[in-house]
Structure 1
C-alpha cells in the first residue's frame, strides 16, 4: 500500500516538473528565422534572375532558316518560316544520323551534278557551323568536316530512298554532301501537306556564283495581302537585368543626360532612358572574346534561355566571325523585323569563361494585333530585281539575299506612365547588299 502511494507521488512530481519546464520554454521561445529569411531571399533572387519563361524545345527554335523553298523542275514555291512551318519541315530529319559525308570544292560556279529534279532549300542569314547545327538543332549524329560553315541546306533524295543533304558555304564554292538514315517517304508526306500553304517564288541570278539551281537566290514572286501590325510592350526592369549579369552588389556610378551607369568589380552596364536600351560589358573577359562559333552559338543560346531572355520570337540572325558578336533578331509571323535603333534584337558575345557583352532593349511584347490599316501592296520580286540591276548606284553582283520583312517603326512615347510604349510593324522588301540588310524603296536601297 505504501509502495503504491510512493509511486503516485513520484509520477505526480514528474508531471509537475515537466509542466514547469514546458512553461519556461514557451515563455522564452524565439523562432529561428534564419532559414526562413534565406528561403525568402532565395525565392526573391530566383524571381529577379529571370526575365521570362525559358524555352523547352531547345536550340532548334532559335537557330532556324529564315525561309523554306521547294523546287521541282520549273516550279518554285516557298513559305515564311513560322515556328510551325519550320518544326513540321524539319521533323523527318531529326534524331537520325549521317551515314557518310564528303566535302567538294569548285573554283568556279558551284554545280551539284547528282542533285535531283526535286529538292527542298533551307536558307539561313548567317554562317552556321555544320556540326553544331546537325548535332544541337536537329540531334543528328554526324561526323562532318571540322569548322565547315554553311548558310544554305538542300534536302534531296537518294536512290535508296533515304534523305541526302547538301550544306553549301556562303561563298558558294564549297559543299558537304551527306547521306542520312532519314527516310524519304516521311519527308515527302510532310512536304505534300506543306505545299498546300506554299506560294509562288522566283529564282534570281545576281552574279556568276548564283547561276546554278543550287545557288539561285529565291524570293516571293508576287506578295499579296501583306498586313501591318501594332505591338504594345511591357517593360523589363533594370534591376532584373543587373541581378542576372552582375555577380554581386551593384553601384550606381552616375546618372546624367538620360543615361545611368552601373558597375562593380567585374562589369559595367549602361541604361539609356529614351531608348530603354541596356548594355553590359564583362570587364575581365575584355581580352578573351571568343570568335569560335561552335562554342559561342550554343553558349549564348543557353545563357539567354536560362533566364528566359527569349521573351518573343527571337532567332539567330547574324554572326560576326571577326568580333564574335551574335545578333538574335525578332521575327513576326515567320518574317524578320528590322529597326534602325536595334530595339528588335539581342546582341551578345561570349568570352573564355562566360558572357562578354549583352545588349538589348528592355521591352517585351504584351500584345500584337492587326493595325487595321489597308493591306500593303508590295512590288513583285522581278520588279525589285530589275530596278536594282538598273540602278547605277548599286553593284547588283553584291546582292546575296532578298526577302520580305517588317519595318519596326517606334511610336512617340508621351512619357506618361499610363501610356505604354508601342510600335508599328509594316511589310517591306529587304535586300542583303554587301553583307548588310537594307530596305528597298523606290528602286534603291535605304
Structure 2
C-alpha cells in the first residue's frame, strides 16, 4: 500500500513539473497582439523589390524660412535643409507642453515674427514619429501633429531657447526648450548670412494664412531620366495571400487585372506604369491615430522593400486613414497626372484597403544640351493664380515650385520640368498661364 502511494506521489509530482514547464514556456513565448495592423493580411512572402526606409528617410521639411528684423529669406535646397537637420539632431528637447495663452496677434508673431527660423512640412507630422528624428526628454509626447517647427533665435546664448511645434490651420501650438549651447551654431550657420545665401521672399496674405514667395525669377534644372520598370510578379507575390492561385485578365494592350478567390484585385496600367491594389474585405475606418497610420504605412512598404528613389511624406489624413508619399528631386516635389510620382495608401481598421503606386524606378540621368529653365517670380505666380475664375484667396493653402513629370514621345525617357504649383482646397494643380499656353516658366 505504501509503495502504491509513493508511486502516485511520484506521478503527480512529475505531472506538476511538466505543467510548470509548459506554463513557463507559454509566458516566455507569449507576444501580445498588435492592433497596429494584421501582418497576415498584408505582405505574405519575403519579397525584396528595392529598399526599406526609416522614419528619418521619409520625413523631410519642404523648405525653411529665416525671418530677420526686416527681411525674410528661404530655401528648399536639399543640401541647406540637410545642414539644418544635422544641427537639430544634436538637440535634446525638454519640457514640451501646449501653449494655450495666445491670441491671433501672438500667433502671427510666434510663427512669422522677427528672429525666427520657420521650418515647413508638407503634411501633419505626428509627434510619435518625430521622436525617431529628434531627441525628446519627455517620455509622453502629445497625441497630435504639427506642420511647422518655429525656432526662436532671439535669446541670449546663455539661456535655453524655445522651439514651437505649430499646427497652422488649427492654430495649435506646443513649445519645448533646447539648451543654449546649440544657439550659437544656429545663428552662425543658418541665420547670420541668410540674406546672402538664401532666396529673398515677400509675404502674400490669404486671409488667415501668410505664404512667402520669391521676389525674383530664378533658374531650375530640367531633368531627363531613363526609367526601369519593376517586375509586376514581385508585387503579385508580395500582396496576395496565395500568389500561386492568382489569375490574370488582360484588357486591351495596356491594362491587366490580377485577382484571387478573396476578391483582392491588383490592376496594372502599362501606359502610366502604375498599379492599384484593393483589398475589399478590409473594414474601412474613419478613426485612427496619425502616428499609427504613418508607422503601419511605412512598415507595410518595408515588408516588401518597396521604396525606390526619393519619397517623402506629403499628405496624412488620420480621419480617413489616407496617406501619400511623394517623389522628390533635389528637395522639390514631383507631380504626375497619372499618379506615377506617389505612393498612396488607404487603411482599414487593421488591414490595407488600397495601395496605389508607380512601378518605375530611375535608372540613370540622360545628358541634354540645355537643362536650365527660368521660372517666373512669386509675383508672376500669384498674378496667374488670381486670374483663375472664381478664385477665393482664403482657399489658397500653398504655392511652390515643383517638377512636372511626363513621358517623352518615344516612351523611353521621363522628363522633369520645373513648374509653379499651388494647393487650393486641399488639391495640388499647376499654376495656369494668363491667356493659356505652356505653364513652364509662366511665360
* TM-score, normalised with respect to structure 1: 0.77
Aligned position for 1:168: 166
| Mapping of residues 85-234 of structure 1, within 5 Å | 85-94=80-89, 96-104=92-100, 108=104, 111=107, 117-129=114-126, 131-142=127-138, 146-157=142-153, 158-159=155-156, 160-171=158-169, 173-181=171-179, 183-191=182-190, 195=194, 198-210=197-209, 216-234=210-228
Aligned position for 1:430: 421
Give 1:430 shift: 0.9
Aligned position for 2:60: 64
Aligned position for 2:271: 274
Find the structure with the greater CA-based Rg: 1
Equivalent residues, number: 387
Q: 1:78 to 1:203 in 2, by over 3 A?
A: same
Contact 1:124–1:151 (Cα < 8 Å) also in 2: yes
Give 1:391 shift: 5.0
Measured in 2, the distance between the counterparts of 1:228 and 1:396 equals 30
Aligned position for 1:235: 229
Aligned position for 1:7: none
Give 1:440 shift: 1.1
Q: 1:106 to 1:231 in 2, by over 3 A?
A: same
Give 1:201 shift: 3.1
Aligned position for 2:241: 247
Q: 1:222 to 1:175 in 2, by over 3 A?
A: same
Give 1:193 shift: 8.8
Q: 1:199 to 1:87 in 2, by over 3 A?
A: closer
Q: 1:444 to 1:148 in 2, by over 3 A?
A: farther
Measured in 2, the distance between the counterparts of 1:93 and 1:287 equals 38
Q: Which deviates more, 281-290 or 320-329? A: 281-290
Contact 1:261–1:271 (Cα < 8 Å) also in 2: yes
The SS at the match of 1:383 is helix
Aligned position for 1:25: none
Contact 1:289–1:349 (Cα < 8 Å) also in 2: no
Aligned position for 2:13: none
Give 1:390 shift: 5.6
Contact 2:224–2:414 (Cα < 8 Å) also in 1: yes
Aligned position for 2:293: 296
Measured in 2, the distance between the counterparts of 1:437 and 1:279 equals 21
Give 1:192 shift: 5.7
The SS at the match of 2:220 is coil
Aligned position for 1:344: 341
Measured in 2, the distance between the counterparts of 1:328 and 1:75 equals 33
Measured in 2, the distance between the counterparts of 1:78 and 1:47 equals 45
- Quick check: 1:330 aligned with 2:324? no
Contact 1:105–1:174 (Cα < 8 Å) also in 2: no
Q: Which deviates more, 60-69 or 252-261? A: 252-261
Q: Which deviates more, 372-381 or 436-445? A: 436-445
Measured in 2, the distance between the counterparts of 1:53 and 1:110 equals 45
Q: Give CA-to-partner distance per residue, 1:263-289, whole Å, 9 cap, x none.
A: 234532111232221111234323357
Q: 1:302 to 1:61 in 2, by over 3 A?
A: same
The SS at the match of 1:285 is coil
Measured in 1, the distance between the counterparts of 2:297 and 2:208 equals 32
Q: Which deviates more, 173-182 or 118-127? A: 173-182
Q: 1:204 to 1:423 in 2, by over 3 A?
A: same
Measured in 2, the distance between the counterparts of 1:407 and 1:141 equals 41
Q: 1:241 to 1:142 in 2, by over 3 A?
A: same
Q: Give CA-to-partner distance per residue, 1:151-173, whole Å, 9 cap, x none.
A: 12111235553342112223152
Q: Which deviates more, 298-307 or 194-203? A: 194-203
Contact 1:134–1:140 (Cα < 8 Å) also in 2: no
The SS at the match of 2:128 is helix
Structure 1: tracts of 5 or more residues without a match: 1-44, 211-215, 415-420
Contact 1:252–1:260 (Cα < 8 Å) also in 2: no
Q: Which deviates more, 348-357 or 45-54? A: 45-54
Contact 2:74–2:198 (Cα < 8 Å) also in 1: yes
The SS at the match of 1:231 is strand
Contact 2:327–2:334 (Cα < 8 Å) also in 1: yes
